[in-house]
Chain A
Amino acid sequence: MVKNRIRNNIRKLRFFQDEMTQQQLAEKVGVTRQTIIAIEQEKYAPSLELAFRIARVFDVPLEEVFSYETENQAK
């Protein structure tokens, strides 16, 4: 099985954004809290549109929220 190699800093970014809750972030980007939990735990890779919406909430470029880990970096 291919493992999800999309990493994210959402938890950290939430913390620095006045300790924003998962529910608040979910409401801002229009998804359920469960989806935010799944993304944070790297169990679910969001669509490009949702990824941009999350980055826009934190007012940072997409690369600061999500990164793609290559095979070599994973080892």
Chain B
Amino acid sequence: MSFQQKNIAVSLANFSLILGIFLIRVFQMIQEGSFNSTNVFRLWGIVIALAVLVTIFATILTHIVSAIIQAIKTGEENPKIEDIEDERDKLIDLRGTRVTYFVSSIGVFLSMLTFALGKPPLVMFTLLIFFGIVAQITGDISRLYLYRRGT
């Protein structure tokens, strides 16, 4: 597994975790009857902050772990990690981004549709962030699939 693949796998795990936390919190709010604007926007903030922080930490951690594994394998003090991004990596990344955009576009449309059908704006905002995370996960899955397939 290349460094890029490891990074994508870690990102996939992170966003799956964030999605899990988000869904649990939404269902809790619905059950408790505390599905109001204050809680929903707080959840928005938590999810976005988590996504940014966890992504940064995970990237650093992947780099460190890869270096340790490489050092154990080769016995070198300063191991070389193959973290260059070549034309194939860029192509796969672009295709994955296209999938992410496609899913998020559908998500935005469906979210707006609920608003147009008379549902409260909170539903629209909750769906927007939900589809944002789902789009990221779908993009990561498609990138991993493309790496397995070749391109």
| A interface SS class | loop
Q: Mark A28-50, 1 if CB is under 8 A from B, else 0.
A: 00111111001001011011001
With known contacts A32-B2, A34-B2, A43–B86 Cβ distance under 8 A:
no
Q: How far is the CB of A6 from chain B (nearest CB, A)?
A: 12
Chain A residues with a Cβ closer than 8 Å to the other chain, count = 13
With known contacts A32-B2, A33-B82, A38–B87 Cβ distance under 8 A:
no
**Looking at the complex, which one of B4, B82, B87 makes contact with A46 (CB distance below 8 Å)?**
B87
Chain B residues with a Cβ closer than 8 Å to the other chain, count = 12
Q: How far is the CB of A40 from chain B (nearest CB, A)?
A: 10
Known: A34-B147, A38-B88, A44-B150. 19 other contacts (CB 8 A): A30-B86, A31-B84, A31-B86, A32-B2, A32-B4, A32-B84, A32-B86, A32-B89, A34-B2, A34-B88, A35-B86, A35-B89, A38-B151, A41-B150, A43-B149, A44-B88, A44-B151, A47-B87, A50-B87
Query: What is the interface of chain A, defined by CB distance below 8 A to chain B?
Result: 30-35, 38, 41, 43-44, 46-47, 50
